[in-house]
Amino acid sequence: MVVFIAALFGAFVGSFLNVCVHRLPRNESVVHPPSRCYSCGARVRWYDNLPVIAYLILRGKCRWCGAGFSPRYLIMEVVVSVLTALTAWAVVSGFIVPAPWFALAGVPEWMAQAATVAVMCALVWFLTVSTLIDLEHLIIPDELTKSFQLVAPLLAMITVTNAAFGWDARGWLVQRDLFDVVTMQPSLFLYRVLGIAGIALVMLLLTVPLAKWIYSSFCPEGERWRPEDHRGFRVGVLWFAAVTALTSFFLMLLVMAGTPITLSLAGGLGQALLGSLAGWWSLYAVGLLGTMAFRRNAMGFGDVKFLAPIGAFLGPVGVMYAFLGAATVGAVVGLPMYVLTKRSQIPFGPYLALGSVLALAFGPQVHQWLFAGFFHGM
């Protein structure tokens, strides 16, 4: 029943995501004006907006002028419905589990699972919309990446997907002696997490002039950043730095509260914060070094902003598996597409999205097979 309800709800969400995919790259509002036929301008009635059913009844045509609608609308509704149902199944089957603070707070299991389903669906929908826009327009809109950078660390506290790779910052919160007596050490946890975050942000801000020089000097004429590109880059860096600082401040408040629930929340938020920084820096460093080595733009800045919030759900180690999966799929699928289509640019966002899904689904098992016991006790 849960999976069926999720599939039904996902179909309605898929209808809305169709609007996002069409309007966001055109800088149009996703809520106004209401859905309309782009041939005759007639407003689409609510009963003609019912997902899947309305498209089949109308045979994919406008009720008023008979103009055909793209099959993408139907496909999107079906695909998002299936993805939402699979996400709900993964949670209720125990494949994805809620964060431990739910049990500490006495939250019923069904409510914890419902919150986890909602959070994981938000991630899946974000990946879906970003993928389709990047495939069509070779961009990932800031409206998606910047807003998700802000909320992703908080949403990631709902689940423990970022702790499934053997290393978890939560381990800094507790210490066990020889007699297996547990002692809480929140100050050490805060010192380490905020120390790493602070160093990462300082290095990021210091490399802004370096990035301007690299993308202006090493790229060929057609790929060199224009003044507006540099301004956009600088704004993106400052936004991410502000989001990271705000998240760090909230983390400090949770630790200072000192209750079992807030410390559990702080552990999840600290892990998400480090994962977000790892997501940013992994692609950012590849872009800088790759551009210098190959003398062409090696990584789009939109991809950097895209992987940062995903890292909150994957953690510092999981991000590496997502990047490895994206690079592998890109080599197997992207290179032949590049040769066949002769496109000068191949979007990397879809491969990052697929790599992230593969990391969530199979990364922990692969990690355990490769590094069993290596991270034990860290």
pLDDT of residue 313: 97
Measured in degrees and rounded to the nearest 5, phi and psi for residue 139 equal: -140, 155
Per-residue pLDDT of 112-149, as tens digits, reads 999 999 999 999 999 999 999 999 998 999 999 999 99
pLDDT of residue 141: 93
Asked if 157 contacts 269 with a C-beta cutoff of 8 angstroms, the reply is: yes
Give the C-alpha separation, 226 to 232, whole Å.
10
Measured in degrees and rounded to the nearest 5, phi and psi for residue 43 equal: -70, 135
Helices (H), the chain: 2-23, 53-57, 71-92, 101-104, 109-137, 142-156, 186-206, 208-217, 227-257, 260-294, 301-329, 335-341, 349-371
**Cα 349–121–239 angle (5° rounding)?**
55
Residues of the chain falling short of pLDDT 50: 375-378
DSSP per-residue string spanning 87-125: HHHHHHTTSS-B-THHHHTT--HHHHHHHHHHHHHHHHH
Give the C-alpha separation, 265 to 243, whole Å.
18
**Burial bucket for residue 157 (CB in 10 Å: 0-12, 13-18, 19+):** buried
The closest alpha carbon to 352, from 315, 305, 297, belongs to 305
Measured in degrees and rounded to the nearest 5, phi and psi for residue 376 equal: -60, 125
pLDDT of residue 376: 47
| Half-sphere exposure for 271 (CA within 13 Å, toward CB) | 31
Query: Exposure string (b/e) for 236-255, b if CB count within 10 Å is 16 or more?
Result: bbebbeebbeebbebbeebb
- Maximum CA pair distance of the chain? 79
Q: Which residues contact 362 (CB under 8 A, 6 or more apart)?
A: none
Coil, helix or strand at residue 65:
coil
pLDDT of residue 175: 73
Q: Tokens representing 353?
A: 């999205």
Asked if 155 contacts 312 with a C-beta cutoff of 8 angstroms, the reply is: yes
pTM given for the model: 0.91
Residue 36, beta-bridge partner list: 43
Q: Which residues contact 338 (CB under 8 A, 6 or more apart)?
A: 346
The closest alpha carbon to 361, from 71, 124, 74, 149, belongs to 124
DSSP per-residue string spanning 318-332: HHHHHHHHHHHHIII
Give the C-alpha separation, 327 to 265, whole Å.
33
Residue 184, beta-bridge partner list: 174
pLDDT of residue 179: 57
DSSP per-residue string spanning 20-43: HHHHGGGT--SSSSPPB-TTT-PB
Helix pair angle (186-206, 260-294), 10° resolution: 30
